[in-house]
Structure formats: structure tokens, C-alpha cells
Amino acid sequence: MSIPTPSHTTPCRICGGAVERFLDLGDQPLSDAFRKPDETDDEFFFRLEVGRCTGCTMTQLLHEVPRERMFHADYPYRSSGSTTMAAHFRAIARRFIAEELTGSDPFIVEIGSNDGVMLRTVAEAGVRHLGVDPSAGVGLTAQEQGVRVRTDFFEERSALEVVADEGRADVIYAANTFCHIPYLDSVLAGARALLGDDGIFVFEDPYIGDILRRRSFDQIYDEHFYFFSATSVGAMAAQHGFELVDVERLDVHGGEVRYTLARPGRRTVTQAVHDLLLEESTSGLDRAEPYESFARAVMAIRDDLRSTLERLRDEGRRVVGYGATAKSATVNNFCGIDRDLVAVVYDTTEEKQGRVTPGQHIPVEDMSGFATDPAPIALLYAWNHAEEIKRKEQAFADRGGRWLTYVPEVRLD
Ligand code: SAM
Ligand code: TMP
Ligand code: ZN
């Protein structure tokens, strides 16, 4: 099954302007659809094309996958799989508790609370909270840790119900989720109704400036619908009754920005906002050229990665994958990497083990095999967790293991 008719231009989901395609990554499966080996027929494919709005500058996918196909009871991604990310979320939870959740009965809502990695700290502090996440499996894990969860999509409808039941929120937070939601007009209408007069809406997502710089084309997949900049977020905020009041660069997931919105005039706009807006206009993020040069670089990476893997295969050297990331679906299916080139992918996520990767059907196995695998070369799909992984896998390096990476260029270290 697939969504047909690839096109070069579509209307912008934010401002209605023209979105011009700059990269076509071909037909792609759902990035988190890890099937059982004997259940791979009738796989869903869609056209993965990405473009930039010539009006508001928002980078976005040209085709939307129905949300229920991606986010459901069996959604396999577990935020707590990385200790670095767990520490990152503990830190922001503590900051909210210390600086924003200080009234007599504060309330925080998280959109996309997943397995409770952030709200767990809030719950432990006894602060009123609610996670909203449509994926029931991850929600259950969160609930088992004392986190209150509403299994639902956050949008205007559900936000109005939350306000009616629980009142307005001091903080609305979303990590690696806001950029997943094509219908941001509805989410922002919901946030406007839910947020207290002096509240803040904070979200953090992969930053388009870092994606272009690092050539991390694998950040582009079904779930990542938007690729934000301060320029595009500022314009979107203004259009929906908010003001962009702060930005913070984050060194996680390959480079992100944490954006803070507030009701207009309620908070002082920080210098960091002005600085990032200036940096973006200086580096031409509002023009076509950096996106076109990114697309050319991506084509070169594809050719290089494929020929490197073919050469290694022809030399009889076994390559395994490390981290069955959602990102790896784009890499494997765009570059044509199957189990002939990568024998197996090792991953710590129970929900992915014993399954096969989307589209190319490479087996996913638990980490016990990695320690004994004879392969001296590991393709590091989870490159965004490289520091944590290399620290943990010192034994691999000690037995002559080498890491193969592909952004910003193909390298065998
Ligand atoms: N916040 C976590 C993190 O940063 O690791 C989870 C990120 S995970 C990539 C995205 C999560 O957003 C999934 O758990 C998914 O179910 C959820 N999600 C998708 N659409 C949503 C929506 N409209 N409202 C709330 N959550 C949503
Ligand atoms: P992410 O890049 O979207 O966070 O996904 C990371 C994937 O890599 C996830 O499936 C868990 C897996 N993983 C490991 O297998 N070992 C690790 O040490 C880490 C940090 C992640
Ligand atoms: Zn636009």
C-alpha cells in the first residue's frame, strides 16, 4: 500500500504558501514498523519528499502519513533507552520544578510523554502533571512509574477536555514530538486554551541548521514532519497568538533547539532569540541555496556509503548495524542497504528484537550477540548516541572493532 502521486510543490501546512521540494528520498516504509520476520507482506510505503516554504521558511514533508499508522499500542520507541537522554530529561524536569512550577498548585502537561522519562521526576516531586500520548504501550510503562497519562493525541479537542477537567497549565512541554505533528494549527489552538496567562510552552526538536551542517539526512522520516528554525517558529508563533521568547541550542540527537513560547508581551524576549535569528539570516537559512547544496551532499553520501558497503562485502568482511533507529529506515531504504550488506542490527529495545527492519528486513537482535559477533565493523545507525555507545562498547574497540558512520561523510574509524 502507498500514498501515490509525488509532487514538486505542495501548500505549506503552516501558512498556505508554496513548499518547494529540495530532496526526494524515495518510497519509504514506516520508520518504526518493526515486523515479525514472517509478517512482512502488505508493508505500507509512502513517498518521502521534503521541501521548504517560500513564504514562512518552514521545512516540511510533502506527504503526510495517517497518524494512527505510526502511533499506536505497539509503537516501539522507548525514550529511556539512552542514559544520556534520561539525564537530559531529569535536568529539564528539575528546572521546571525550580523555576516555573512554584505556585500553590502548579500543573504541567507533557505532549508525547512516551515511557515517562521526563514526568517521572515531576511525579516524584509530588507536582500535578499529565502526560498526553496516543501510544498505549509506552503509556503503560509511564503509568507503572507513577506518571499520570491520557492515552490520546494532543490537539485542540483533547486540550479543551484537559482544561475542563484539570484547569490551565503553567508549563506545556514537548520533546521530539511537536515536530511529529502535521496539524500544528490544532495543537497551538489547544495550547492557547490550556496555557495559563503567564505560562510557557516549551518544545525541543532537531534543528534544521544542524541537519544542514551535519548533512544528517536520516533525520528525515515519516515521523519527523517539520524541521524547525527560530525564523520559522517565530513566524508560526506570531500567527497563532504566541511569541517566541527564548531559544537554547541543545547538543542531543545530533543538534536540537529548545524553543519557549509565551503569550505576547508576558515574558521578555531573550538575546538568544535575536542572536539565532541573525545567525539564520546570515547563513542563508531563508534562501534555497543551503538546502540545494545539502541535497547534493546527500546524494554523494548515498553513493559513497553504498560503494563502501559493497567493497567490504566483496572483501568478505562482515558488517553489522548498531541501533535500529527510526533514522536507519531512511538510510537503508534510500541507499538500498539490505542484509546482504548489513547482516544484523543490534538494539537494546525489547520491542524491536526478534523483528526485522522496515523495508529491507534486516534481522534485529538483542545486544548479547554484539559482544560475541565476529564482525569487526559496525555501522553506527545511532550516531547521535555515539559518545554513550563508544564508552559502553570499549571491548569492541579493544578487539579491533571499527565504527562506520555516514554523516557528515562516510568514515571508518
Ligand atoms: N518525548 C519523548 C522523547 O523525547 O524521547 C518521546 C519522543 S517519541 C519520538 C514521540 C512521541 O510522541 C511518541 O511517544 C508518540 O506516541 C507521541 N505522539 C505522536 N503524536 C502525538 C500527539 N498528537 N500528541 C501527543 N503525543 C504524540
Ligand atoms: P534514537 O536515535 O531515535 O534515540 O534511537 C536509538 C535507538 O538505538 C533505539 O532503538 C535504542 C538503540 N540504542 C541501543 O541499542 N544502544 C544504546 O546504547 C543506545 C543509546 C541506543
Ligand atoms: Zn509556510
Q: Could you tell me the distance, in angstroms and rounded to a whole number, from the CA of residue 101 to the centre of ligand 2?
A: 31
Task: Compute the distance from residue 78 Cα to the ligand 2 centre, in Å.
Answer: 9
Q: Which residues, other chains included, contact 395 with Cβ-Cβ below 8 Å and sequence gap of 6+?
A: 371
Q: Which three cell numbers stand for residue 284?
A: 542563508
Query: Does residue 64 fall inside a structural domain?
Result: no
Ligand 1 pocket test, pick from 88, 133, 172 with the greatest ligand atom count within 8 Å of Cβ, gives 133
- Using one digit for the tens of pLDDT, what is the confidence trace for 200-253? 999 999 999 999 999 999 999 999 999 999 999 999 999 999 999 999 999 999
Atom of ligand 2 nearest to the CA of 346: 15
Taking CA atoms only, the protein residue closest to ligand 1 atom 17 is 112
Q: From ligand 2's centre to the CA of 72, what distance in Å? A: 20
319 and 244 part of one domain: no
User: Does residue 7 carry a pLDDT above 90?
Assistant: no
Phi, psi of 320 (to 5 degrees): -120, 160
| Cα within 13 Å of Cα(292), Cβ side | 6
Residue 154 C-alpha cell reads as: 494532543
| DSSP bridge pairs for 403 | 378
Q: How many domains does the chain have?
A: 3
Task: Kindly state whether residue 159 falls inside one of the protein's structural domains.
Answer: yes
Q: Who lines ligand 1 at CB under 6 A?
A: 71, 75, 77, 79, 111-112, 114, 132-135, 138, 153-155, 175-177, 180-181
Residues 85 and 51 in one domain: no
- Strands 45-53 and 18-29, by their bridges, are antiparallel
Per-residue model confidence as pLDDT tens digits over 79-110? 999 999 999 999 999 999 999 999 999 999 99
Rounded distance from Cα 179 to ligand 1 centre (Å): 9
Atom 8 of ligand 2, nearest CA residue: 323
Residues sharing a CB contact under 8 Å with residue 106, sequence separation 6 or more, in sequence order: 100, 127, 128, 170, 171
Dmax over Cα atoms in the chain, in whole Å? 67
pLDDT single digits (tens) 384-408: 999 999 999 999 999 999 999 999 9
Strands (E), 4-142: 9-11, 18-29, 45-53, 59-61, 107-111, 128-132
Domain boundaries, position 106: 79-289
Q: Looking at the domain assignment, is residue 297 inside a domain?
A: no
- What is the model's pLDDT at position 376? 87
269 plus 322 within the same structural domain:
no
Is 165 in the same domain as 247?
yes
Q: What is the spatial distance between Cα 7 and Cα 18, in angstroms, rounded to a whole number? A: 12
Name which of 2-6, 28-32, 140-144, 402-406 the model is least confident about.
2-6
- The values of phi and psi at residue 332, to 5°, are -65, -45
Beta-bridge partner residues of 19: 10, 53
Residue 296 domain-assigned (yes or no): no
Residue 162: pLDDT over 70: yes
Q: For the domain that residue 373 is a member of, what is the CATH number?
A: 3.40.50.720
